[in-house]
Amino acid sequence: MKNLLILHLESITRQRLATFGSSFPNTRRLMQDALVFDNFFSSATSTLMVVTYLFHGNDFEFDAASEFEGMRAAVNNRNLFSVLQSHGYNADLICLNAFHAQNSAKLASWSDDLPPLWATNDFPSLLDRFDKLTNSPPFAIYVWDLITHIEHSLALAPFSSGLTDQIQRACGVADDAVGVMLATLERKGLLDNTTIVIYGDHGDDYWTHGFKGGMVHATEPYTQITGTPLAIRDPGLTPGINDNLASTIDIAPTCLALLGIDETAVFPHTGTNLLMGASALVFSQNFTANQPDNLKLGIAKAFAATDNTYNLLVSSRGLELYAYRLDPGNHCNLLHFFDVMPDGRLELRKRPGLASHFRMALKDNPRAVANLTSHFGTLRTALAGRIAAKRAYITASGVVPSFALDPRCLNTVDYEARTAFFRCSESMKEARESMPIIDISFKI
């Protein structure tokens, strides 16, 4: 029997992995020997939701709840580690939590039939625990290292020159732990008999889509947050790049397939084995389907459908569409350039004085417009189906869908943002004209 090791890269996106590349030598070495899923998108923008969706292989686990705090998983599918334990695996979850002394780590989706979550704020203790657990194969170990979370990285602030350096140092510390764990497996002759999954749960948005009360994740599912790493090292897999779309909910069925365990998932919205074919699109969300917008923080409950080119997001504010490969920060809502017609078609808006760049990109480029409108139609239909399925699930759970998203939101664009987008230059001109002249010249 093969072992299973899941390495959780807390708050790490593909972009962060690239930006701080020198901080991830061990992670990169692992990925060179693995099958890397280059189009993996997290199913949610918060850790609790992502980990739960991974364990249970679906993203409906919390949708009947109207409050985030105290949520319990619905167990639409059995926990992956419960399944493995029932097949003779020693299943454990170990956690590095910088606040362990004051606030112990908790994970509602870690099933009661499994050994208690083990946590520490000391890296040597974590690695010693890992060493001991790997003495008892077949094992299934989930390693949750929180040091790269923006709050937990504060432990490195006294050694850092600023926030960027602090986050980069946290990445290096987390990568060192990955290196030690891989070395432990290799020293024991277990490396080539262990399926290793390394993945990112979500990324951060440093206030580029609004202040949100200061929140940097658990905000709307833009691809700069959901585009995270996934790589699987397995003796039966040829290392390389897989560019099929992949989602958090696909990890459990893929692991079971690699371990040769036949577990029939009963829930209809379960993920798929990534080695058996490609998905046309994947879904992400930030809140439960029955959770209201957070008006205090300015965060809207949102759902996103992502294909190989575009990310379509819907919330109570309306629709947003991003060409995320060209616009990885999801800053330009392409629907600002169009009107959504009553039949769902997009019609390019007529605007005078267009720069040649825009004309060549869209106005005088009918193939580009046709591609965009086609993808929009497919993604919009998929989102409509997903929202309907979520509402039906809430009702079937015996809960009133009081805060479920109104499907009419799919018929409008985020006009508030569009107004701000196109009035930017006028506002700047007005601001300059009304701005008092202040002498800030240096006197030497």
Give the list of residues 6+ apart from residue 356 with CB closer than 8 angstroms, or none.
Answer: none
The pLDDT score that the predictor gives to residue 283 is 98
CA–CA gap between residue 52 and residue 353 (Å, rounded): 50
| pLDDT given at position 166 | 98
Model pLDDT for residues 248-301, shown as the tens digit of each residue = 999 999 999 999 999 888 899 999 999 998 899 999 999 999 999 999 999 999
Please name every residue paired with 312 in a beta bridge, in sequence order, or none if there are none.
Answer: 305, 321
In the predicted structure, residue 309 carries a pLDDT above the cut 50? yes
pLDDT value for 433: 57
**pLDDT-derived band at 427, boundaries 50, 70, 90:** low
Tens digits of residue pLDDT in 383-397: 999 999 999 999 999
Cα–Cα distance measured from residue 331 to residue 414, given in angstroms and rounded to the nearest whole number:
13
H or E, element range at 25: helix 25-32
Least confident stretch, 18-27, 108-117, 313-322:
108-117
- Residue of higher predicted confidence among 93 and 444: 93
Q: What is the mean pLDDT of residues 17-34?
A: 98
Q: Give the pLDDT mean for 316-328.
A: 97
* Cα dihedral value 269, 273, 277, 278, nearest 10: 50
User: What does the pLDDT average to over 26-41?
Assistant: 98
CATH T-level fold of 3-277 = Alkaline Phosphatase, subunit A (3.40.720)
The Cα 438–Cα 433 span in angstroms is 13
Q: What is the mean pLDDT of the chain?
A: 93
Q: For residue 156, name the pLDDT band (cuts at 50, 70, 90).
A: very high
| pLDDT tens per residue across span 222-258 | 999 999 999 999 999 999 999 999 999 999 999 999 9
Judge whether residue 442 has pLDDT over 50: no
Q: How much is the pLDDT for 424?
A: 57
What is the pLDDT averaged over residues 177-187? 98
Strand 318-323 relative to strand 338-340, pairing? unpaired
Q: How confident is the model at residue 97 (pLDDT cuts 50, 70, 90)?
A: very high
pLDDT band at 107 (very low <50, low <70, confident <90, very high): confident
Q: What percent of the chain has pLDDT over 90?
A: 85
Residue 434 has pLDDT above 60, yes or no: no
Q: How many CB atoms lie within 10 A of CB 230?
A: 28
pLDDT, one tens digit per residue, over 170-181 is 999 999 999 999
pLDDT of residue 224: 97
Q: CB-based contacts of 284: which residues, under 8 Å, 6+ apart? A: 41, 42, 43, 44, 45, 221, 226, 247, 303, 304, 306
- At 263 the pLDDT is 86
Decide: helix, strand or coil at residue 324.
Answer: coil
CA distance 369 to 339: 13
- Report the distance separating Cα 178 and Cα 162, nearest Å: 25
Per-residue pLDDT band for 430 (boundaries 50, 70, 90) equals: low
- What is the pLDDT averaged over residues 109-121? 94
Q: Which residues contact 81 (CB under 8 A, 6 or more apart)?
A: 55, 89, 91, 93, 110, 111, 114, 140, 142
272's tokens:
């798929």
What was the pLDDT predicted at 221?
A: 98
- 443 pLDDT higher than 80: no
In the chain, % of residues over pLDDT 70: 95
Q: Give the per-residue pLDDT at 100.
A: 81
What does the pLDDT read at residue 440? Answer: 47
Does the pLDDT at position 341 exceed 70?
A: yes
Q: Tell which residue, 152, 146, 170, has the closest CA to residue 160.
A: 170
Residue 425: per-residue pLDDT: 54
- Which residue, among 44, 105, 112, has the nearest Cα to 79 in the 3D structure? 112
Q: Which has more pLDDT, 68 or 111?
A: 111
Closest CA to 23 of 39, 12, 37, 35: 12
> What are the extents of the domains in the chain?
3-277, 304-425
Of the candidate ranges 39-53, 326-340, 429-443, the one whose mean pLDDT is the lowest: 429-443
Q: Are 279 and 246 in contact (CB under 8 A)?
A: yes
Q: What is the pLDDT of residues 347-364, one digit of tens each?
A: 999 888 899 999 999 999
Q: Minimum mean pLDDT among 238-247, 363-372, 427-436: which range? A: 427-436
